[in-house]
């Protein structure tokens, strides 16, 4: 039986929001057992928004949460890092309505977690184990979740571009695999879409420093960190949205040309049908025991 985790000490970072261009400070703070991942708008007297699908507001070009009219946007990159590193309980303090994009990946948040450390709590971790398949589609976009004794994702994308094309990524997700294989993968965009997005009030904070930018033929700000960085980033986004389940998953998720909307629909439909899952404290591959209260390490990416 594994124990819940929080962080050992606070850590913080600051940057600008991708869509708002507003400067924001993010601070991770330890939280007690059974808290979950909770965002705090410290610019609004510490107003709390739990990282749960019930608080999803919109999911067009980022996953935004809202509670009682208070909005928080672009949560997926920080959620992907926390969820993959097994951090069950943490307060994420933010002082603006959008989390910073930083370099466009989850790597800076993994580095924050390395500084924060991790600490086991004297409370068992509760997993959500999928026992029956759920799948649905929207045109040629498909997503499904299936029984599995570990947390595994399979993500397929296909963009009509000479540097992208069809790409697929599949891996069992844990702290090490996410930090190494997915966390450095950056968000991306196409020059042909930028005018329309700016006209919608989006990507006002976007730049060559926080996204991969492509014209019709080339990557304008290479080199890529991975040959299939685009597929890897979509897998990162998928994990961030799956964190809105609110508990660690034991399941295999297959996403075919999906996006934030299908990801969050999957979470909503899954939680709405309790015949699809069971709650368990049993972990398939138990890690080496660490006494409660003893820090454990989170890898740093070079």
Residue 279 CB burial class (10 angstroms; 0-12, 13-18, ≥19)? exposed
Give buried/exposed letters for 32-64 (b at 16+ CB in 10 A, else e).
ebebbbbbbbeeeeeeebbbbbebbeebebbbb
CA distance 276 to 33: 26
Residue 285 CB burial class (10 angstroms; 0-12, 13-18, ≥19)? exposed
CA distance 46 to 271: 28
Give buried/exposed letters for 159-182 (b at 16+ CB in 10 A, else e).
bebebbeebbbebebebeebbebb
CA distance 94 to 68: 17
CA distance 88 to 86: 6
In the residue annotation, 263 being an active-site residue is answered as no
Choosing from 52, 77, 256, 260, the catalytic residue is 260
Q: Please list the active-site residues.
A: 260
């Amino acid at each position: 039986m594994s124990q819940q985790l929080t962080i050992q000490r606070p850590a913080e970072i600051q940057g600008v929001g991708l869509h708002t261009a507003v400067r924001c400070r993010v601070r991770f703070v330890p939280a007690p057992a059974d808290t979950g991942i909770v965002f705090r708008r410290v610019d609004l007297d510490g107003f709390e928004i739990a990282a749960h699908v019930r608080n999803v507001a919109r999911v067009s070009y980022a996953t935004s949460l809202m509670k009682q009219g208070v909005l928080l946007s672009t949560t997926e990159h920080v959620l992907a890092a926390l969820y993959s590193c097994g951090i069950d309980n943490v307060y994420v303090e933010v002082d603006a309505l959008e989390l910073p994009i930083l370099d466009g990946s989850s790597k800076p948040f993994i580095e924050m977690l390395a500084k924060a450390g991790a600490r086991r709590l004297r409370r068992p971790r509760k997993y959500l184990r999928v026992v029956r398949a759920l799948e649905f589609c929207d045109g040629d976009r498909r997503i499904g979740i299936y029984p599995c004794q570990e947390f595994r994702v399979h993500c397929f994308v296909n963009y009509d571009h000479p540097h992208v094309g069809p790409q697929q990524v599949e891996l069992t997700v844990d702290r090490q695999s996410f930090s190494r294989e997915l966390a450095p993968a950056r968000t991306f965009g196409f020059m042909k879409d930028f005018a329309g997005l700016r006209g919608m009030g989006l990507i006002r904070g976007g730049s060559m420093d926080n996204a991969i930018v492509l014209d019709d033929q080339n990557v304008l700000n290479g080199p890529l960190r991975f040959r299939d960085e685009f597929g890897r980033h979509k897998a990162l986004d998928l994990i961030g949205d799956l964190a809105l389940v609110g508990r660690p998953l034991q399941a295999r998720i297959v996403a075919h040309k999906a996006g934030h909307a299908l990801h969050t629909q999957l979470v909503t439909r899954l939680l709405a049908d309790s015949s699809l899952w069971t709650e368990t404290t049993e972990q398939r591959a138990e890690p080496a025991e660490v006494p409660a209260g003893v820090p454990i390490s989170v890898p740093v990416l070079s």
